[in-house]
Structure 1
């Protein structure tokens, strides 16, 4: 190892060569190995030692079921390296995935627009540079203007991707809905192709865990929309046009459905990720 290279993790796992020199290997099988991940490379140690510089990874994905062997494993990461595709799974796989995201993203610069949307209202924020740091809990962004923007991975609601011109270049823009000071905001991220694919996989995985399919009445959805727009829970009855008792009953149901969380006993509530997702879907219908 060089003086600047640092070990991130050393664990046990398996790998499967799904594509070699452009050819899909339908008879490939998992090989038990030791996995060593550093700030510069991924090393797989089995009967032979295989090393892959992180700079050689073109794309990281979440599934590539080349055969039944690969389909039978629920969690693995897919590494696209030129015309080769490698699947890797670790004993503590979620922890390994986070370590891989850290290796790929920590200290890297990305373009950030924050807040692009706040309380459902489009803002005039411009694009600025941000330095990334990945933790178990969040994607931390240190912006050039001094702002610190944490995107909690358990707090990601809606997530979308679009190709746009940013700073004179066509880039993939990742639009992430989360909260800031209990208000729903969107932060937009744009980077090079590799950083965009890593962020997409990491954030999609987090958003998928938070997805909700709630059967709500029109009044319940109006309550959620009021909270999403920044209306105080105390002002919801007059804003929506319902009684205080009816509002309390709806709050009880939404708490039970985990669409809102209780902040003070039966008086103050805030939307959860599930609730914000419902609101986001409703906004999209309008």
Structure 2
């Protein structure tokens, strides 16, 4: 490739050019324009402009027995939808996923409304054209009206919806994320549906990792009550605002929540962490169902 290579490693993969049922070993190269998977016998080239989806761990049943940790890339080839499956080990898969999304999405001009909501209340924020940048664990928006970051570990929910942005109703992503003890909602739209789908997939993968961490945790009614009380207080409060009974019992509950990384101490007060925000959001959704 004549363009600059941003990733170059040896691994196992399977594409439509592989004649056997099993994956093959070869070289994997990524530039800002294309992904190339090559062996001594063939080369599969995937233009990044044709990529329509990226997923982790999703392998067709016929190939599942041959792979462990994978990145699956779906792309269009004329009227056909094809896939390339790349295998890596643990952190290598996560690192390649981040680099791949960064190459595909970084630098895009987007229309943003931030924050569209603060603590659930609609704001008067206007639309802004900004530049989207991705780095490990962070979605950054640069430009008109001031830069800001969204910590991907703080995303508590997101959805796709139609919004009036830039004087036109467009498909957009509504992203709820924890910031300073409260929940902010940021609305983002990209210039085309394919790129919006890829950003949605990226957020879904990051959000799924947070949800997997929460699935391993168990909560008592008292712990949930303390989290909801803290949320109702704006996401940050001191001990006196959380007392509903015995001081010692309340302190034990708060210590348990700290141990689970659901709250943290900030400037002499307690603040919901991103995980805590996500737990409260799930609880409120369950109550409203």
Corresponding residue of 1:55: 49
**Offset at 1:142?**
1.1
Equivalent position of 1:80 in the other structure: 75
The whole-number CA distance in structure 2 between the counterparts of 1:283 and 1:227 is 13
Task: Provide the aligned C-alpha RMSD in A.
Answer: 2.8
Question: Residue in 1 aligned with 2:258?
Answer: 255
3-state SS of paired residue (1:28): coil
2:33 to 40, 45, 58: 40
1:138 is displaced (CA, Å) by 0.8
**How far has the Cα of 1:26 moved from its partner?**
11
Counterpart in 1 of 2:13?
15
Matched ranges for 1:1-286 at <5 A: 1=1, 5-17=3-15, 28-46=21-39, 47-62=41-56, 64-70=58-64, 72-82=67-77, 83=80, 84-90=82-88, 92-145=92-145, 147-164=146-163, 166-167=165-166, 168-171=168-171, 173-191=172-190, 192-211=192-211, 212-213=214-215, 214-229=217-232, 230=234, 232-234=236-238, 237-238=240-241, 241-242=244-245, 244-263=247-266, 267-284=268-285, 285-286=287-288
1:61 and 1:283 map into 2 onto residues whose CA distance is 29
Segments of structure 1 that go 5 or more residues without pairing to the other structure are: none
Say which SS state the counterpart of residue 205 (structure 1) adopts. Answer: helix
Q: State the SS of the aligned residue for 2:178.
A: strand
Aligned 8 A contact 1:59 1:81 in 2: no
How many matched pairs? 274
User: 1:56-112, CA deviations, whole angstroms, 9 ceiling, x for partnerless residues?
Assistant: 223334455323324643322222223122222345211111110111011111222
The gaps in structure 2 that reach 5 residues or longer are none
Distance of aligned partners of 1:90 and 1:263 in 2 relative to their CA distance in 1, 3 Å threshold? same
Q: Please report the TM-score for the alignment, with normalisation by the length of structure 2.
A: 0.81
Cα distance between partner residues in 1 of 2:148 and 2:245: 36
Cα offset, 1:187, TM superposition: 1.8
Task: Give the Cα–Cα distance (whole angstroms) in 2 for the partners of residues 93 and 231 of structure 1.
Answer: 35
